[in-house]
Amino acid sequence: MACVGEERVAKSGEQKDFVGGGTMPCRMMLRELNEVHEAFLDLQRGIGDAVADAAHALGDSHPSWHGPAPDDGAHADRAAQITERCQRLLVLYQPVAADFRRVTAILQMVGEWEHVSALAKGIADRAAELAPWLVVVPHELADLAAVVAGLVRDAGAAYEDGGPGVARGVVRMTAALGARASGLTGCLVEAMRADPAAVEPGLGLFAVVQDLLRIAGHAARVAEEVIVLTDGWDRCRADRAAGAPRAARAHDPAGVT
């Protein structure tokens, strides 16, 4: 999405009334909001790269390929900074209307991306350990990981470009991942039945599949925030009434998260 509020400043002037009886420059609030917006874009791009790296690791059955896992600690620090700045904006300026929706949407999405970062690191950490066993499900797991990485990329692009259509596609595709994951877990079960030595790594691969589904679920919740931000709650509710599943459950019918 483009820089926030500059046209409103040009139309409304330099100052805006705030709670407390005083006035503060509108440009000051919008400058801080734009800085938060840019920091958030950088965060979600970095986390998208981390998910893509984790997906790449799952598609490579050679342990020597794997480098250091993504640094989710750095992402967590940046997410905390963005959260603090959003809270400052809400308390100090008490924004309304579109500005309020944007700040609260960023707050919600930061939390989702922080979970994605931690899950991506967990997958990357397991990749080298499980690499010899990836031959059991070479294409299925790599394909699932690639789809999830694409959903993360599309959810970020939906916010950056203001595309509710892309966001709805993320929600729909997330709902369709269950069948793909079921086929993959079926292959794992057969492999573990055939070879007792495959049980422990098979359970590790089960965990990877679940983490991929959780990542998709968080990306879908980011997409829902984009829908609300661009089209409002009425359109989001209409989508759900028309049959689009709620992202909070689409990836996790058993409620494991």
Q: 187-229: per-residue pLDDT in tens? A: 888 888 998 888 888 898 899 999 999 999 999 999 999 999 9
- Closest C-alpha among 151, 219, 214 to residue 181: 214
Across residues 70-78, what is the average pLDDT?
82
Q: What is the CATH number of the domain that holds 102?
A: 1.20.58.220
Of 212, 241, 59, which Cα lies nearest the Cα of 122? Answer: 212
Residue 9 lies in a domain: no
| Residue 234, domain member (yes or no) | yes
Does 4 map to a domain? no
What is the SS3 assignment for 4?
coil
The range of the structural domain enclosing residue 235 comes to 15-250
- pLDDT for the residue 13: 42
Q: How confident is the model at residue 21 (pLDDT cuts 50, 70, 90)?
A: very low
Q: What is the pLDDT of residue 226?
A: 94
Flag whether 31 is in a domain.
yes
The answer to whether position 203 is within a domain reads yes
Distance (Å, whole) CA 104 – CA 222: 12
Number of folded domains in the chain? 1
| 256 assigned to some structural domain | no
Q: Which of 66-80, 201-215, 241-255 has the lowest mean pLDDT?
A: 241-255
State residue 151's pLDDT score.
98
Judged against a pLDDT cut of 90, whether residue 48 lies above it is answered with yes
Whether residue 8 lies inside any domain: the answer is no
What pLDDT is stored for residue 237 in this prediction?
52
Say whether pLDDT at 153 is over 60: yes
Q: What's the mean pLDDT in 147-166? A: 94
Task: Answer yes or no: is 243 within a domain.
Answer: yes
